Amino acid sequence: MRRFFTETYYFLVALEPRYKIVLFLVISLLILAAVMVIIVLRERSRKNSVENRERRISRSVEPIIQEIVFSEYDGGEFKDAIKKINRIVDSALYRKSNMAILNELILYYHRNLGGEAFNRLEMLYREIGLKQIALDNLRTGEWHIKAKAINDLSTMRMGESLFDILQYTDYENQNVRYEAQYAAVKLGGKKAMGFLDDLDTPMSEWQQIRLLDQSLKFEYELIDRVGKWLRSENNSVVVFGLMIMRHLNQYHEKGELRKLLYHKDEKVQEKAIETARELAYAECLENLYEVYELTKKIRIKKQILRAMGDLGGSKEVGFLRETIAREKEYDLVFEAAQSLKRMGRRDVLISYKEQELSEKGESIVKHILDDRI
């Protein structure tokens, strides 16, 4: 054996440098591959152990949470329950990870329950120290930890954290900023929406949808800030303002809405027409004619034709009929025909069909008149 090693050693020493380099690389890679297999397997074991711990904690904690949520616990019993939970999650090595498991468990219950149970879970969240952990994470964590902390605090409706959260509504990291904006609306209601007044950064459509989803809970209350948003330099705030106006029936800023029909940004213009239609703002029809003539964008023209179908009268019937006859663009003919149908003017469409003016127009009219589509 010793001789073998000695011979191998002298063989390697005698090798040319380039051989040595390649041989070294080959051996390193094979060792690396073997080490990685071990790491993968260890990672697998770690995951299994976390899952087992998760199951164990859930098994022990869930009955206590259910007791707290569904029984009439007095103050003493509540404290005892918290002590019990603390004993379960207490561990020298895994306390942080156990608290994270507990956090997810409480969040899960909170998402799926309502009423009094809601309040008790919130109390549990505070008393057990999870709220403090979230606040610490918010102050000191990386961006994803900050964002998760804000998300947790808003999910658990920790209204008293609103002031801490509001400071992040214009934060440099987009993910943190979005979570903070969402949490502000969720915890602070329409009063906390003031951050929109001077928001410089763009809001994504996703974020607008989230904020709208929260705002829909205001149920047609008057939101006097809408005018400010409609006048904002930030187009995403303008679009959001229009969405609020439309979905919460904010009629009081019609003047601003009329101006936005001429906005240079296509998205804003499109939303403004949509909003005018939804709010039945028939006074703007003359403006819509004007915009129709001015614009070359098919999307805008389509929106105008659609609005005419909802807002218009006999004058608009004539305009729509003429559009079917003279327009070459399929989408516009289609939209005009659909508007006529919505206005209840099937007679106009039928007469058009009988006149057999153009093959394309006729097939579109047939399509529109077919109620099965």
Partner 1 sequence: MIEFDNQNSLIDVLIYIFFFVTYGYTVFVMVSYLVLGILSVVQARKYLRRNSYTDYLNILQSPEAPTVSILAPAYNEEASIIENVRSLLSIRYPNFEVIVVNDGSRDRSLIKLIEEYQLEPVDFAVNYALATKNVKAVYKSKNPTYNNLVVVDKENGGKSDALNAAINVSTGEYTLNIDVDCILEEDCLLKLMKPFLEETEKNMIATGGVVRIANNCKIEKGRITEINVPNKLLSQFQTLEYLRSFLLGRVAWGSLDGLLLISGALGVFQKELVIACGGYDDDTIGEDMELTVRMRRYAREKDIDYVVGFVPDPLCWTEVPESWAVLRRQRNRWTRGALETLLAHKRLFLNPYYGKIGMISYPYWLLFEWLAPLIEAFGILLLVLFSLLGVINISFLYLFIALIYGYTVSFTIATLYIEEITFFQYKKRRQLLRLVLAGLLEPLIFHPFLVYCSVTGNWDYFFEGKKAWGSMKRVGFKKPSSGNKGRKITASKPSPSPKNPVRSSPAGA
Q: Phi and psi dihedrals of 219, rounded to 5?
A: 45, 75
How far apart are CB 74 and partner 1 at their closest, in Å? Answer: 35
- What is d(CA 325, CA 120) in angstroms, rounded to the nearest whole number? 66
| Of 93, 104, 98, 90, nearest in space to 50 by CA | 98
How would DSSP label each residue in 265-300?
Answer: SHHHHHHHHHHHHHTT-GGGHHHHHHHHHH---HHH
Q: How far is the CB of 137 from partner 1 (least distance, A)?
A: 12
* Nearest CB to partner 1, comparing residues 219 and 370: 370
Q: Residue 33 CB, nearest distance to partner 1 (Å)?
A: 4
Q: Which of 98, 85, 103, 93 is nearest to 53 (CA)?
A: 98
Residues contacting residue 166 through CB under 8 Å, at least 6 positions apart: 180, 184, 188, 192, 195
Establish how many alpha carbons lie within 13 A of residue 324's alpha carbon, considering only the half-sphere containing its beta carbon: 32
Distance between CA atoms of residues 49 and 45, nearest Å: 6
Distance CA 136, CA 77 (A): 28
Would you say 70 or 108 has its CB closer to partner 1? 108
| 108 near partner 1 (CB under 8 A) | no
Using CB under 8 A as the binding rule, whether residue 203 contacts partner 1 is answered as: yes
Q: Looking at this protein, which amino acid is placed at residue 233?
A: E
Among the listed residues 98, 151, 215, 250, the single contact to partner 1 using CB under 8 A:
151
Among 161, 169, 232, 236, binds partner 1 (CB under 8 A): 236
Residues 23-42 touching partner 1, rule: CB under 8 A, are: 23, 25-26, 29-30, 32-33, 36-37, 39-41
Q: Which is nearer to partner 1, 10 or 70 (CB)?
A: 10
* CB nearer partner 1, residue 207 or residue 232: 207
339 binds partner 1 (CB under 8 A): no
- Which position among 47, 79, 191, 326 is part of the footprint of partner 1 (CB under 8 A)? 47
Among 3-11, 70-78, 114-122, 329-337, the segment contacting partner 1 (CB under 8 A): 329-337
> What is the closest distance, in whole angstroms, from the C-beta atom of residue 247 to partner 1 in the complex?
7
Q: Which range, of 15-23, 60-68, 70-78, 261-269, touches partner 1 by CB under 8 A? A: 15-23
Does 350 participate in binding partner 1 (rule CB under 8 A)?
no
The C-alpha atoms of residue 159 and residue 185 are separated, in whole angstroms, by 11
When asked if residue 212 is in the footprint of partner 1 (CB under 8 A), the reply is yes
120-154 exposure pattern, b = at least 16 Cβ within 10 A, e = fewer: bbbebbeebebbebbbebbeeeeeeebbbbbbbbb
Contact between 44 and partner 1 by CB under 8 A: the answer reads yes
Which residues does 122 contact at the CB level (< 8 Å), separation at least 6?
110, 156, 157, 158
SS3 of residue 187 by DSSP: helix
The residue ranges that bind partner 1 (CB under 8 A) are 18-19, 22-23, 25-26, 29-30, 32-33, 36-37, 39-41, 43-44, 47, 144, 147-148, 151-152, 175, 179, 202-210, 212-213, 236, 243, 247, 330-331, 334, 360, 363-364, 366-367, 369-370, 372-373
